[in-house]
Structure 1
Amino acid sequence: MTNDELQISNKLPLSYTTVLVTRAAEQSNKFVSLLEQFGATALSMSCLCICPPSSYFQLDKAIFNLHQFDWLIFTSTNGVDYFLERLTTLGFNISKLANIQIAVVGEKTAQHLTKYGLKADFLPPEFVSDSLIESFPNRENLKGTKILYPQLEAGGRENLVEGLTKEGAEIEAVPAYQSNCMTEIQPIIITAFLENQIDVVTFASPKTVGCFYQLIKSISSKSLLNNICIASIGPITSIACRNIIGRVDVEANPYTLDGLINAIANWKKSPNDQPKSSV
């Protein structure tokens, strides 16, 4: 690195900051790259592995009966990938979705649809499922509206199902993929924790928080996190942080990876907002 490059690197918002990314391996690359562009040293600790559902029965049945649905809801890029992969595996193509409107939670999920030549018909103003319920099109007259929701097995957004059902919609939630906790931590991550090299731990889902905590207990108690910033991508994940770890120091706004990075950068600039001991 030249002197000029070194000077530029030292001026980046997250210079001299080591950030731990806890997302599944297949999802972490983009976030790691973004963090590095802001000057951070990014370490990846995969706490989840994403895989197909334990059974395709419900998903396959829904795909064969797609003509019965008015809306299709995606709340994650995983939901998009696993649903469309199964669609093509069953011998159908994207045109089978031509008469179905698509609603998504989050700009990232909306952008991911474009890779398949699809476009979201509805994106709520805030990137959480509550916002989708509150602002769903024609909300006052959803009686008889049939909605398909390919979700995470044993961990979908139940508030979304309950909320739209109360509004009169007929929503069918089917498992499209599952996420399992990893059982081991890479030695390099264990060393980084024990030598106090980590400044920030980031979380992008509630389940990741639980899986992370189970892994970290194999090293030490949660007191190991006392001087580390706990950063959450949004309010639902923040609730999990408070319940499991005891606190959350940073919450993204908007609830995106870019918003999370900006929130961490703002935290770094504010010495009064440094992490406090867990309770």
Structure 2
Amino acid sequence: MEARRDDLARTADAPSSPLAGRTIIVTRAEAQAREFASALESHGARVIHCPMIEIVPPESYDLLDEAIDNLYGYDWLIFTSVNGVEYFLRRFRELGHDTSELDELRVCAIGEATASSLREAGVRVDLIPNRFTAEGVFAAIETAVGGRDHLRGMVFLLPRAAVARDYLPRALEEAGARADVVPAYRTVRPQSTDRARIEALLIGGSVDCITFTSSSTVTNFAQLFDTTDLSKLLEGVAVACIGEITARTAAEYGLQTHIQPEEYTTAALVRAIVAYFERQR
């Protein structure tokens, strides 16, 4: 954890930082935004918290419980986020299981933060794809098992958000595998967001940058303002998206992405934001 904090803030503390005096809206879930916001602030930015998602338990644990009770039937366990790890392992332990029971499965973690969360819980990680998109994950798994033909007959468990992209399970099934997608948590829009304050800041031209770290943050931000076109509201504001999928969702709401790191992590996003405003000097 300390290493990740150092990575987020490692080039900070310079009084002449390009973020000095800049106001940045952070839409990430409040519980997960602290390190990200702290890194931006250490570069001199003024951070406005506007959480657009809240992580909550699934409406029902039935499917997750069934999957956990039948773990012996799976070959691979795929975690797409830290949230998936936390909510899966929480329920896993509530049902009286120990992480040692996962030793018989091969575990794929998307992103170093997800892998670190698993390792900290005592779970062995067998694969971390180089590319964090669903397409990249499929390619990495295909290589890890020795080719597409070896996927046939394999069974994969994906505990993740109740609403998520379907490419990966679909691609696995097209290759002859079985992919069980079970809801381990839900992302919902917080009810306490201060829309009036955010709107006043945007209309007043007080915001320099807005960050989106998932497609849900974009969609929920648009819903907050009851619009399908965010271009006018965010005119003159630099849009920072953590990755290709989020940027694609932003485009669906009329936004051009100005800042997008090659690596889909908040540490990389901080560096990309700093680099962007360095060029604006």
TM-score, length-normalised on structure 1? 0.88
Q: CA deviation at 1:252?
A: 1.5
The residue number in structure 2 matching 1:172 is: 180
Q: Which amino acid aligns with 2:219?
A: G
Looking at structure 1, the residues matched to 124 and 48 of structure 2 have their Cα atoms a distance apart, in angstroms, of 33
One-letter amino acid matched to 1:262: R
Structure 2 CA distance, aligned partners of 1:188 and 1:9? 30
Q: Indicate yes or no: 2:210 matched with 1:201.
A: yes
Other structure's SS at 1:236 match: helix
2:264 & 2:188 partners in 1: Cα distance?
23
State yes or no: 1:36 paired with 2:41: yes
Alignment-mate amino acid for residue 129 of structure 2:
P
Classify 1:171/1:221 alpha carbon distance in 2 versus 1 (closer, same or farther; 3 Å).
closer
| 2:51–2:190 CA contact under 8 A, matched in 1 | yes
| Unpaired segments ≥5 residues, structure 2 | 1-12
Alignment partner for residue 215 of structure 1, among 215, 224, 233?
224
Q: Residue 76 of structure 2 corresponds to which residue in structure 1?
A: 71
Give the superposition deviation at 1:130: 1.2
Q: Do structure 1's residue 235 and structure 2's residue 240 form an aligned pair?
A: no
CA shift, 1:207, in A, is 1.2
Q: Does 2:231 match 1:225?
A: no
Identity of aligned residues (%): 33
Q: Which moved more, 1:77-86 or 1:182-191?
A: 182-191
How far apart are the structure 1 equivalents of 2:42 and 2:255? 30
CA distance in 1, matches of 2:76, 2:230: 45
Is the alpha carbon distance of 1:122 and 1:241 closer, same or farther for their aligned partners in structure 2, counting shifts above 3 Å?
same
Tell me how far 1:217 sits from its aligned partner. 4.2
Q: Mind listing any 5+ residue stretches in structure 1 that lack a counterpart?
A: 1-7, 273-279
Equivalent residue, structure 2, for 1:58: 63
- In 2, the alpha carbon distance for the partners of 1:39 and 1:130 equals 37
Q: Which residue of 2 aligns with 1:161?
A: 169
Q: Which amino acid letter does the alignment assign opposite residue 214 of structure 1?
A: Q
The count of aligned residue pairs is 263
The corresponding residue for 1:264 is 273
Secondary structure, counterpart of 1:224 in structure 2: coil
Partner of 1:85: 90
- Contact 1:182 / 1:211 at 8 angstroms: preserved in 2? no
Identify if the C-alpha distance between structure 1 residues 221 and 97 changes in structure 2 by more than 3 Å, giving closer, same or farther. Answer: closer
**Aligned residue identity for 2:212:** F
Q: Measure, in 1, the Cα distance between the counterparts of 2:117 and 2:39.
A: 17
Residue 71 of structure 1: how far off its partner (Å):
0.7
Q: Report if the CA contact (8 A) 1:193-1:224 is conserved.
A: yes
SS at match of 2:193: coil
Partner of 1:26: 31
Are the counterparts in 1 of residues 239 and 255 from structure 2 also a CA contact under 8 Å? no
Q: Which amino acid aligns with 2:259?
A: V
Pairwise CA RMSD of aligned residues?
Answer: 1.9
Higher relative contact order (CA closer than 8 Å, sequence separation 6+):
2
> In the alignment, is the contact (CA less than 8 A) between 2:61 and 2:184 conserved in 1?
yes
